[in-house]
Structure 1
Amino acid sequence: MATKVWLITGTSKGFGRVWAEAALKRGDKVVATARNIDSLASLKQAYGDAVLPVTLDVNNRVECFSAVDKAVKHFGQIDVLINNAGFGHFGYVEEISESEARQQIETNLFGSLWMIQAVLPIMRNQKYGHILQVSSIGGVMAFPSLGIYHASKWAVEGICESMNQEVAQFGIKTTLIEPAAYATEWATASASISTPIEAYNGLREAMKAASSTMTSGDPNATAEAILKVVDVTNPPLRLFLGKLPLMMIEPTYNKRLETWKEWNEISANAQ
Structure 2
Amino acid sequence: MTSHTWFITGVNSGFGRELTRQLLERGDRVAGTVRREGSVDDLKAQYGDTFWVGHLDVTDLPRIREVVDVAFAALGRIDAVVANAGYGLFGAAEELTDEQVQHQIATNLLGSIQTVRAALPHLRAQGGGRLIQISSVAGLSAHAGASLYHASKWGVEGFMEALAQEVAPFGIEVTIVEPGGARTEFTRGSLQVAEPLAAYAGTPAAMVQAFKQTSVPVSGDPTKIAARVIASMDQKPAPLRLVLGSDSYQAVTSALRNRLAQIEPQQDTAAQTDADS
Give the TM-score range, shorter chain: over 0.9
Q: CA deviation at 1:123?
A: 0.3
Q: Does structure 2 retain, via aligned residues, the 8 Å contact 1:37–1:53?
A: no
Aligned match of 1:83:
83
Distance (whole Å) between structure 2 residues aligned to residue 215 and residue 103 of structure 1: 26
- Equivalent positions of 1:108-187 (< 5 A) are 108-187=108-187
Deviates more, 1:98-107 or 1:206-215: 206-215
Q: Give SS of 1:38's match.
A: coil
Deviates more, 1:104-113 or 1:254-263: 254-263
Sequence identity percentage: 37
- Equivalent positions of 1:216-227 (< 5 A) are 216-227=219-230
Distance (whole Å) between structure 2 residues aligned to residue 51 and residue 261 of structure 1: 50
Aligned match of 2:238:
235
Distance (whole Å) between structure 1 residues aligned to residue 182 and residue 151 of structure 2: 20
Residue-pair matches, total? 271
Structure 2 residue identity aligned to 1:22: Q
- Alignment deviations for residues 124-143 of structure 1 (CA, whole Å, 9 cap, x no partner): 00111101001110000101
Distance (whole Å) between structure 2 residues aligned to residue 153 and residue 121 of structure 1: 24
- Equivalent positions of 1:7-86 (< 5 A) are 7-86=7-86
Distance (whole Å) between structure 1 residues aligned to residue 222 and residue 2 of structure 2: 26
Are residues 104 and 205 of structure 1, via their aligned partners in 2, closer, same or farther at CA, if it must alter by over 3 Å? closer
Using the size of structure 1 for normalisation, the TM-score is: 0.94
Where does the alignment leave 5 or more consecutive residues of structure 2 unmatched? none
Aligned match of 1:268:
271
Q: CA deviation at 1:32?
A: 1.3
Distance (whole Å) between structure 1 residues aligned to residue 247 and residue 40 of structure 2: 31
Q: CA deviation at 1:223?
A: 2.4
Q: Give RMSD over aligned pairs.
A: 1.8
Structure 2 residue identity aligned to 1:241: L
Where does the alignment leave 5 or more consecutive residues of structure 1 unmatched? none
Structure 1 consecutive aligned stretches of length 4 or more whose deviation exceeds 4 Å: 204-214
Distance (whole Å) between structure 2 residues aligned to residue 122 and residue 53 of structure 1: 19
Q: Give SS of 1:39's match.
A: coil
Q: Does structure 1 retain, via aligned residues, the 8 Å contact 2:35–2:56?
A: yes
Distance (whole Å) between structure 2 residues aligned to residue 193 and residue 213 of structure 1: 14
Are residues 47 and 267 of structure 1, via their aligned partners in 2, closer, same or farther at CA, if it must alter by over 3 Å? same
Q: Does structure 2 retain, via aligned residues, the 8 Å contact 1:136–1:180?
A: yes
Q: Give SS of 2:228's match.
A: helix
Q: CA deviation at 1:206?
A: 4.7
Given the alignment, which residue of 244, 251, 256 partners 2:254?
251
Q: Does structure 2 retain, via aligned residues, the 8 Å contact 1:71–1:77?
A: no
Q: Give SS of 2:188's match.
A: coil
